[in-house]
Structure formats: structure tokens, C-alpha cells
Amino acid sequence: MDHRLMEELVKKSREGDTAAVQSLLEDFTPFIISTARKLYIANHDLEDLIQIGRLSFLTALRKYDTSRDFCFPAYAVNAVKNNFHHLIRKAAERNYEPDSSVLEGLPSSTDIEEEFLKNETSARLIQSLEKLPAEDRALIEWFYFRSGSIREYAESNSLTYNSVVKKKQRILNRLKNLMKDKPN
């Protein structure tokens, strides 16, 4: 359709001429259908999208300012596309729900830090234990890895209870100092 004829039809439609409105709508219907076919919006079929496009066109026709130096076809095309994009954004916002099952499986940032520090401390403890003499390492293993008691250790090694307590404390202090030292 010619640009001048289209502008005349727009003016006539603004004056209430339904035939002019119908003629303009028929000219834009192929564009509306083509655009609607390219879209997918949940709970809207093609006929719904075409109807929404037609309503967008009619709204653009009603709001078009003939005094401005802007051609109606470009205005109408932008109005229809923008309305479709707005509809897509609204549908996306309405349908967006974070999948809580995925989020539950991920540790929080504090858990990651705690896990890292725990692993780092464990690695330093192992390095420090390796630096202890074999006899001292055996005592630590007895209490912390075998869950043995002081009395049992004292009896099995022919030592007094008090000497084992003092020895254990001395070894733990040495281990603590070794862990404070910078790692290798």
C-alpha cells in the first residue's frame, strides 16, 4: 500500500471510518501472523497471539500522532513487536521459579570455606604427625584413632597413669607448635 494512501486511511480511521480501520488491519495481518508464528509463549496458541497482535495494532492506530513526522507503518510494526516482547517478559517473570532441588544440592559459600579450612587443617595435622617420633605418634594414635584410655595405655606399656597424662600433654603441645609453623 502506498505511504500517502496509508496516511489518509489512518486519518479516516481516527475520524471513525471502520472501513479504513478494516483496510489497514488487513494490510498488517500478514506481518502480525508472521511475527506470531515465530513466538512461543506458554498457554498461548497461534490464534491467541494473532489476536493479541491485532489488538496491539489497533492500539497503535488509536495512539498514533499524525502531527509528528513519523510514518505509521514503522510505528505500528514497532508497537506490535514491543507488545509481543512485553508479553514474553511477563510470561517469563510469571513462570520463573528457581529449582530449589538444585540449590539444595549446592553448599553455601560458608560451607565451602569451612570445608576448605577443615581439609587444610587435616593436611597440616598429618604433616605435623609425621614429624613426631614414632613413640609419640603411637601414643596419639592410641587415644585418637583407636579410642584407647590412658589407663590401658599405661598398663600395656608398663608406665604410670600420671606419666602417660604428662607425656600426652607434652606431645599435644609439640603437635600444636608444629601446626603453627608454616607448612612445607
pLDDT tens-digit map of 132-149: 898 888 888 888 888 888
pTM above 0.75, yes or no: no
Query: What value does the mean pLDDT take over residues 113-128?
Result: 85
Confidence grade of residue 113 (pLDDT, cut at 50, 70, 90): confident
| CATH 1.20.120.1810 domain extents, the chain | 3-95
| CATH 1.10.10 domain extents, the chain | 131-184
What's 115-145 look like in SS3? HHHHHHHHHHHHHHHHHCCHHHHHHHHHHHC
- Grid coordinates of 141: 594414635
CATH class (in words) of the domain with range 131-184:
mainly alpha
* CA 16 – CA 167 distance, rounded (Å): 104
Query: What value does the mean pLDDT take over residues 58-72?
Result: 85
Query: What value does the mean pLDDT take over residues 156-178?
Result: 91
Q: What is the pLDDT of residue 59?
A: 92
One of 1.20.120.1810, 1.10.3720.10, 2.40.160.40, 2.60.120.1440 is the CATH number of 3-95, namely 1.20.120.1810
Confidence grade of residue 107 (pLDDT, cut at 50, 70, 90): low
The DSSP secondary-structure symbol of 45 reads -
Confidence grade of residue 160 (pLDDT, cut at 50, 70, 90): very high
pLDDT at residue 105 is higher than 80: no
Query: What value does the mean pLDDT take over residues 41-48?
Result: 87
Q: What is the pLDDT of residue 29?
A: 93
